[in-house]
Homo-oligomer: A and B are copies of this chain.
Amino acid sequence: MIPRYSRPEMVAIWSPETKFRIWYEIEAHACDAQAELGVIPKENADAVWKARDVEFDVARIDEIEAITKHDVIAFLTHLAEIIGNDEARFVHQGMTSSDVLDTTFNVQLVRAADILLADMDKLLDALKRRAFEHKDTVRIGRSHGIHAEPTTMGLTFARFYAEMDRNRDRLARAREEVATGAISGAVGTFANIDPSVEEHVCKKLGLKPEPISTQVIPRDRHAMFFATLGVIGSSIENIATEIRHMQRTEVLEAEEFFSKGQKGSSAMPHKRNPVLTENLTGLARLIRMAVVPAMENVALWHERDISHSSVERNIGPDTTVTLDFALSRLTTVVDKLVVYPDNMLANMNKFRGLVMSQRVLLALTQKGVSREDAYRLVQRNAMKVWEDGKDFETELKGDAEVTAVLSNAEISEKFDLGYHTKNVDTIFKRVFGE
C-alpha cells in the first residue's frame, strides 16, 4: 500500500482498530448466541457488551502479543482487562482463532467492496454525464490506430459506461462471494460449538453462514473476488489508454484537466502530460498482480495450511486500497476531461475525406459499376488526395467518369456525417435505457 495512492476511508478498513472492533463484535455476538443456547451464562454474555463503546488499546494488545505470541489471545486478554477477568471467562468458548480471523477478513472485504461499489457509481455518473454531453461530438473512429469511420465522443464515453456497468455487476457478485462467515471450529465440524452460533453471528454481521468450511472459509471465493478486481483494473487501463492516446501531441482531442496555477502550464503550453492516466495504467498492473496469488491460495493442504495468510495480508489491503484510489482518480479524470471537438474535426479531416472512400466505392457498385472499375475510380482520386494533398470530395466531383454515375448531390451525401451518427440514439437507448 503506497500512501500517495491511498484514501483514508479504505485504509481505515484495514487498520488494527477496525480489525479489533470486528473481532469484538464477533465474540460478543457469539456470546449472545451461546447464552441463548444455555452454554454460557447470560450475564457473562451481557458483560461483554460493556466494551461496546470502549476504544481498544492497540499498543497494549501488541504488548501482550509480544509475550503470548498469539494475536487472538492477546486481544482476549485485553478484553478481559476491560470487562473483568471473571466476566470474560466464557468469551471465545468453543471457537477457533480462524473462526474470528476468517470471518473478519470477509467483513473487511465486504466493506471494501461497498466502498468500491460507491466509487463505481460515481464513475458511472461521470461517464454518463460526459456521454450525453458529447453524444453528437463527431470524431474519427480508429482501428489499428488508423482512421476508419466517424463515430462520436459520446459513444466512446458510452462504451466505457457500459463496460464499467458490467464491472459494477461483477463487483456486486464478487461481494456476495465473500459475504460469508464461519464459526465452525478446528476442522469445520462444529464439534465444540453449535451451528446456530455461526448463524447468529453471521446474521448480525450481514454475512451468510459458509455452508461448509474446514478450519477456514474456502479460498475459491477470494480467488473469484480478486479476479474480479483484476478485470476492473483492466477496464481502468482501457479507459486510461484511450485518454492517453487522445492527449498525444499529434492527436490532442482531449486533455486531463490542468489547474490554472499548475507551474509550467503556460511557458510550455504543449507540455501537459497525461500523468494521471499513465499512473492509472500502472495501478492497473498492481491491481492485476493479485489475481494469480489469490488463485494459488485455493489449494490449501487438507483442512487448511497457512500459506494464504501472508498473501492476503498484502493483497487484501493493497488491492482494495489501490482500486479505490484508481476508481476515484479515474472519476476525476473523466469528470474534468477537457475535450477538444475542433481538434476532433481537424483530425478527421486530416486526409481530406479519404475515410469516406469506402462509401464512395459502395455507391459506385450500387449504381452498377463493376467492382474493378469502381475500385479504379476511387483509387485514382484517392491518390491525388494522398500524394498531392487535394480534397477527395472535390476531386470526385471533377472526375467525369464518376459524375457520369453519381450526381454532385449523391457524392456530397457520401460525405455527410449524419450517415454515421444516425444510430447513436438507438445505441444510447441500449446503454442508458433512455
Interface residues of A (CB under 8 A from B): 2, 4-5, 68-70, 140-151, 155, 158-159, 162-163, 166-167, 170, 173, 177, 185-192, 195, 209, 211-215, 218, 220-221, 223-224, 227-228, 230-231, 233-235, 237-238, 240-242, 244-245, 247-251, 262-263, 266-275, 278-279, 281-286, 288-293, 295-311, 313-314, 318, 347, 350-351, 354-355, 357-359, 361-362, 375, 378-379, 382-383, 385-386, 419-424, 426-427, 430-431
Contacts and interface: CB of A to CB of B under 8 A. Distances in A.
Contacts of A247: 145-146
Nearest to A421: B189
B303 A151 contact: yes
A309 to B, nearest CB: 6
Given A162-B211, A293-B289, A431-B211, A145 B237 contact: no
B289 A292 contact: yes
B145 A301 contact: yes
Contacts of A279: 306-307, 309-310
Contacts of A295: 230-231, 233-234, 288, 291
A191 B419 contact: yes
A430 B220 contact: no
Given A218-B159, A227-B291, A270 B354 contact: yes
B292 A306 contact: no
A375 B288 CA distance: 43
A222 to B, nearest CB: 10
A78 to B, nearest CB: 17
A351 B270 contact: yes
Given A249-B350, A426-B195, A298 B234 contact: yes
Q: Give the interface SS of chain A, mostly helix, strand, loop or mixed.
A: helix
B191 A234 contact: no
A161 to B, nearest CB: 8
B293 A145 contact: no
B275 A306 contact: yes
Given A141-B188, A242-B302, 9 more contacts: A146-B248, A149-B191, A150-B187, A189-B427, A227-B227, A237-B299, A267-B382, A268-B357, A285-B307
Contacts of A242: 302
Given A238-B298, A292-B291, A351-B270, A212 B158 contact: yes
Contacts of A382: 266-269
Nearest to A293: B285
Contact of A286 (B70, B166, B187, B314): B314
Most chain B C-beta atoms within 10 Å of own C-beta, residue among A151, A163, A249: A249
Contact of A148 (B144, B212, B215): B215
A248 B306 contact: no
Top 8 closest pairs, chain A to chain B, by CB: A141-B187, A144-B273, A282-B310, A234-B298, A142-B302, A281-B307, A227-B227, A285-B293
B298 A285 contact: no
Contacts of A141: 186-189, 214-215, 302-303
B269 A212 contact: no
A247 B299 CA distance: 16
A406 to B, nearest CB: 16
Given A245-B302, A298-B238, A221 B145 contact: no
A134 B420 CA distance: 41
A143 B144 CA distance: 22
A293 B233 CA distance: 13
B189 A424 contact: yes
